[in-house]
Amino acid sequence: MIKVYFLGTGGGMPSKNRRLPAFLMKREGFSALFDCGEGTQYTFTEYGLSSVSLDLIGITHMHGDHVLGLIGLIESMGMLDRKKPLNIMGPKRLKEFLYASFEMSHFRPKFELRFIDEYKGNGIRVKKFETCHTVTSQGYILEEEEKVNLDIDRLKAIGVNDWNVLRKIKGGEDVTYEGRILHHEDYIIKRSGSKVVYTGDTRPCENTVNASKDAALLIHDSTFLDEPSALTYGHSNVSEAATIAQQSNVNLLALTHISARYPEPEPLIQAAKKIFPRVTLPNDLSFINVE
Ligand SMILES: [Zn+2]
Ligand SMILES: [Zn+2]
């Protein structure tokens, strides 16, 4: 199960109702933050969430509302004496931005910053895909590895209950048991892991449809209700986000990066529902469990 925390669901500038973009995704033994708007570390502290143990930070693009909280967050990790390396994914200039800021604010991290293109570990894989904004930008696909379970009913039916045999079958070995060969693939059930996709700021984009195919959750830019300026500023209207969700057959669409001009969520939800029924508009600090 992946737990997705919506730490900041606004965009552009903070409003009374919504903070700047930040999404925490946790799974047993793993946590990642996607985007880090100004003030994100306060949100962690306020709600008793840990930022010092993050395994990965993914930044979608270099607009201030998505990245200006990162310097402070990393500097605080240093003050909390973090030792383990921090994996970072993001646009090319992110590294330059971070090191220039550290230099000017007299901070030298004592832990390693690993700038990577893809993350794999703890049963999770994180990949990027190019999105369609006014500046270079990338979205993220967070996917659980395939789950392998024993077909217990089938094994019971042939009287196998030796844990050593079961362990080998689950590990992908063929086993000789009481004179017969048990082919492991006959006794395991494979289930694909859950997939969560976050777009960052984007126009409706073919790449997002491909990246989000059958995802459990798509978190999509939905800055405007129905504004031509979505095109000018490289954002999406809610109906466009809903169309992408429909084309990619996701299980649930979460509208985000909501403009401060919409204090009431209902008109946006209704507009999206006309196109795609399984839609939600999360408030800050709500969460969704993705099975
Ligand atoms: Zn933005
Ligand atoms: Zn932007």
- Does 257 carry a binding-site annotation? yes
Question: How far is the C-alpha of 182 from the C-alpha of 157, rounded, in Å?
Answer: 13
Residues near ligand 1 ion, CB 5 Å cutoff? 11, 65, 201
pLDDT exceeds 90 at position 104: yes
Give per-residue pLDDT as tens, 110-159: 999 999 999 999 899 999 999 999 999 999 999 998 888 899 989 988 88
Sign of CA dihedral 103, 107, 112, 114: negative
- Does 235 carry a binding-site annotation? no
Catalytic residues: 65
Question: What is the predicted pLDDT for the residue at 91?
Answer: 97
What is the distance in A from the centroid of ligand 2 to the CA of 61? 7
Looking at the CA of 65, which ligand is closest? 1
Question: How far is the C-alpha of 65 from the C-alpha of 198, rounded, in Å?
Answer: 16
Question: What is the predicted pLDDT for the residue at 229?
Answer: 87
What is the distance in A from the centroid of ligand 2 to the CA of 60? 9
pLDDT exceeds 90 at position 190: no
What is the distance in A from the centroid of ligand 2 to the CA of 174? 52
Direct distance between the N- and C-terminal alpha carbons of the chain, in angstroms, rounded to an integer: 5
What is the distance in A from the centroid of ligand 1 to the CA of 165? 53
Pairing, β 188-191 against β 86-89 = unpaired
Question: What is the predicted pLDDT for the residue at 191?
Answer: 82
Q: Do 34 and 22 form a contact (C-beta atoms < 8 A)?
A: yes
| Cα atoms in the Cβ-side hemisphere of radius 13 Å centred on 181 | 4
What is the distance in A from the centroid of ligand 2 to the CA of 62? 7
Domains along the sequence of the chain with CATH: 2-146+192-290 (3.60.15.10), 151-188 (no CATH)
User: pLDDT class for 162, splitting at 50, 70, 90?
Assistant: confident
Looking at the CA of 137, which ligand is closest? 2
- Does 65 carry a binding-site annotation? yes
- Does 63 carry a binding-site annotation? yes
Looking at the CA of 21, which ligand is closest? 1
User: pLDDT class for 178, splitting at 50, 70, 90?
Assistant: confident
The residue type found at 282 is: P
